[in-house]
Amino acid sequence: MSDCLFCKIIAGEIPSKKVYEDDLCYAFYDIDPQAPTHFLVIPKAHIASVSAVTGDTAPIVGHIFEVIARLAGELGLESYRVVSNIGPQAGQSVFHLHFHVLSGRDMTWPPG
């Protein structure tokens, strides 16, 4: 999608600090980290949010969770939080599906 920030990051048109990449997804550090470790994992296909996931695209989401589990292991994250905001009231600011992976500090529940 031409006017999507994260599609531009995937295309390399906007620089990012890569954590991992494969045919289906791209992981990179958040520009405004909210924890000592904070990266995002996004599908290469443009999907607006969890709300737009269909039967066709659900396997990509499953793959992303497999990647998150693997990266957490490789990075030595023993405890971490995976977050996806859906819609402006929940705090979504980029409308390309992404999973935040946050680790390295105490976290509160419920989230603010």
Question: Would you name the residues annotated as active-site residues?
Answer: 98
Do residues 48 and 97 touch, judged by C-beta distance below 8 A?
Answer: yes
Q: Residue 46: which of 99, 7, 5 has the closest Cα?
A: 7
Name the one residue in this structure whose structure tokens are 């045919």. Answer: 23
Least distance between Zn ion and beta carbon 45 (Å):
8
Looking at residue 77, its amino acid is L
**Comparison of 24 and 85: residue with beta carbon closer to ligand 5GP:** 85
Span from 1-9, 56-64, 71-79, 86-94 in contact with Zn ion (CB under 5 A): 1-9
The answer to whether the CB of 6 falls within 8 A of the CB of 98 is yes
Nearer to Zn ion, 57 or 79 (CB): 57
- Shortest Cβ distance from residue 34 to Zn ion (Å)? 22
Positions touching ligand 5GP (CB under 6 A) are 5, 14, 16, 28, 30-32, 85, 91-94
Of 92, 97, 100, 86, the residue nearest 44 (C-alpha): 97
Choose the one of Zn ion, ligand 5GP, none that binds residue 46, judging by a C-beta under 5 to 8 angstroms depending on kind. Zn ion
